[in-house]
Amino acid sequence: MKDLQACLRTARVMPVLTVHSSDEALAVVAALQAGGIAAVEITLRTPAALAAIAEVRAAFPDFMVAAGTVRTVQDMQAVAAAGVDFAVSPGFTPALSAAAQALDLAFLPGVCSPSEILQAAECGHRVFKLFPAEAVGGIALLKALASPFADVRFCPTGGIGLHNFRDYLALPNVLCIGGSWMVDPALIKAGDWAGITRLSRECLQPAGH
């Protein structure tokens, strides 16, 4: 099982990608890698997702690939078979946690409240996707959670973009952020791989550059 904290700390910025073909996924990941991005979350929101994950894993063995929108035990089994580094869910259930453990697959469950954090912590989790981050309180919520959950770390996703992602990354309990501005569907549709690379490079530069 991958060390999830280490994966997210290395990535810092994780594009959340919805793809419609394996070729599209390969082109986008090549553009992301050219811009210095180290990880991608490919969501299970299209029929092409699982095949795309497997193709990207084969073509980019050193690139971290997560599967997103994992909602059922069957999803968890399918993404494990596709070879993902870790699974990401918009929420948490004990069944999903048990399935990931049985598959020896790192799992980033989604939470948005103290009660969900407590329930997931009882199953051994210490790293969470805060989702939908901006809608549930964003930076203010993360600051409020820092003291009672000093041993917990987050990858906030949802409503995060160029305008605020550095503010999230500045928080001590944030390892990584998820966002989709650098993989905007309009850029993908236009085949603007250079644009994706440019946005990727920009989001890894210090503020003011």
**129, 134, 189, 202: which one is catalytic?**
129
User: CA 134, CA 129: separation in Å to the nearest integer?
Assistant: 12
- Is-catalytic flag, 143? no
Name beta bridge partners: 177.
Answer: 13
Report the side by side order of strands in the sheet with 127-130.
Answer: 110-111, 127-130, 153-154
User: CA 68, CA 157: separation in Å to the nearest integer?
Assistant: 11
- Is-catalytic flag, 41? yes
- Give Cβ neighbours of residue 125 (< 8 Å, ≥ 6 apart): 92, 97, 107, 109
**24, 41, 55, 134: which one is catalytic?**
41
Dihedral sign of CA atoms 38, 140, 114, 179 in order: negative
Please calculate the CA angle 182-160-178 and round it to the nearest 5 degrees: 65
Residues belonging to the active site: 41, 129
